[in-house]
Amino acid sequence: MNISLARQTALVTGASSGIGQAVAIALANAGANIVVNYHSDEEGAAATLNAVTQAGKKGIIYKADIGQEEEVLAMFAAATREFGTLDILVNNAGIQRDGKFSELSLEDWMAVINTNLTGQFLCAREAAKEFSSRGKTEYSKALGKILFISSVHNIIPWAGHVNYAASKGGETMLMESIAQELAPQGIRVNSIAPGAIKTDINKSVWSDPVQRKKLMELIPYGRIGEPEDIGKAAVWLASDEADYITGATIYVDGGMTLYPSFASGG
């Protein structure tokens, strides 16, 4: 298999830590230049940029709240000014604001929907516009690629996290509908749905021995995922090796979506 993203530019949202950071670095190692978007972790963004440079690729850091339309427009303008165009969007930025359903505030509901769903919409729309206005390139079979970083909670209901699960369920229909609409233009749109990946978002779970043991019971493959597990899948899905794949969700979850509690019951 010959995977190369040479001459391509990828914009990765939420690239200052965790999955976004690993995806950005993996794409750079495969030959892409990177726009490192971040919201609050400036140091993390600098570390990502440093790894991109180490890989011999160019990168820029761009601070933007993807839930704010003007900031998204300005980010895409800056990215295309710097690199001429974009070839890959990784819609990764996402947040959790957990709470018991009957006590969940409108603020926590809106914050999660705004970043995880509206932000993904805004970035995907701007990427699609850029791909269409730029036209076909000779270095990629697709006109452009959009990759959503979803979650197993796009199909696994999650008590105490209803805003997050609703955003991920919505994101799946957003991804599939965009994929359907843009396939005739040659734009591929897909999702990676990670399971439990060791990042800051779930640190309180994997760093606590009791909670970690309970989590492990949900992972048939017997290990917590690493951000690099997602990076590898992202590189492949963004490359021409996956050229016939659009509208798909690939679960990278160690079997979490296999209903492990049914292994000895039902």
Of 156, 142, 162, 159, nearest in space to 246 by CA: 142
- Which residue, 96 or 191, has its beta carbon nearer to ligand BGC? 96
- Which residue, 79 or 230, has its beta carbon nearer to ligand BGC? 230
Q: Which stretch binds ligand BGC (CB under 6 A): 6-14, 102-110, 199-207, 258-266?
A: 199-207
Binding flag, residue 152, ligand BGC (CB under 6 A): yes
Binding flag, residue 231, ligand BGC (CB under 6 A): no
Of 171, 219, 229, nearest in space to 199 by CA: 229
Can you read off the two tokens belonging to residue 10? 């990828």
Binding flag, residue 16, ligand BGC (CB under 6 A): no
- Which residue, 46 or 215, has its beta carbon nearer to ligand BGC? 215
Binding flag, residue 202, ligand BGC (CB under 6 A): yes
Binding flag, residue 233, ligand BGC (CB under 6 A): no
Binding flag, residue 117, ligand BGC (CB under 6 A): no
Binding flag, residue 153, ligand BGC (CB under 6 A): yes
From the list 139, 164, 251, 259, the catalytic residue is 164
Binding flag, residue 225, ligand BGC (CB under 6 A): no
Task: Tell me which residue has tokens 């604001």.
Answer: 97
Instruction: Give the integer Cα–Cα distance in Å for 16 and 32.
Output: 17
Binding flag, residue 198, ligand BGC (CB under 6 A): no
Residue nearest to ligand BGC (CB): 151
Task: Tell me which residue has tokens 């940029």.
Answer: 49
Q: Which stretch binds ligand BGC (CB under 6 A): 62-70, 104-112, 115-123, 195-203?
A: 195-203
Beta bridge partner(s), residue 36: 12, 61
In the complex, the smallest distance separating the C-beta of residue 116 from ligand BGC, rounded to whole angstroms, is 10
Binding flag, residue 239, ligand BGC (CB under 6 A): no
Q: What is the size of the binding site for ligand BGC (CB under 6 A)?
A: 9
Binding flag, residue 195, ligand BGC (CB under 6 A): yes
Sort strands 187-194 and 144-149 into parallel, antiparallel or unpaired: parallel
Whether the Cβ atoms of residue 90 and residue 12 lie closer than 8 Å to each other = yes
Report CA dihedral (97, 103, 107, 110) to the nearest 10 degrees.
70
Binding flag, residue 167, ligand BGC (CB under 6 A): no
In the complex, the smallest distance separating the C-beta of residue 91 from ligand BGC, rounded to whole angstroms, is 14
Binding flag, residue 140, ligand BGC (CB under 6 A): no
- The region that residue 9 occupies, defined by phi over 0 for left and psi between -120 and 50 for alpha, beta otherwise, is beta
Task: Tell me which residue has tokens 């690993």.
Answer: 22
Is 221 an annotated catalytic residue?
Answer: no
Whether the Cβ atoms of residue 116 and residue 167 lie closer than 8 Å to each other = yes
Q: Which residues contact 38 (CB under 8 A, 6 or more apart)?
A: 14, 15, 16, 44, 45, 61, 62, 63
CA angle, residues 17, 20, 127, in degrees to nearest 5: 140
Residues recognised as catalytic: 164
User: Which residues contribute to the site for ligand BGC (CB under 6 A)?
Assistant: 96, 151-153, 195-196, 201-202, 205
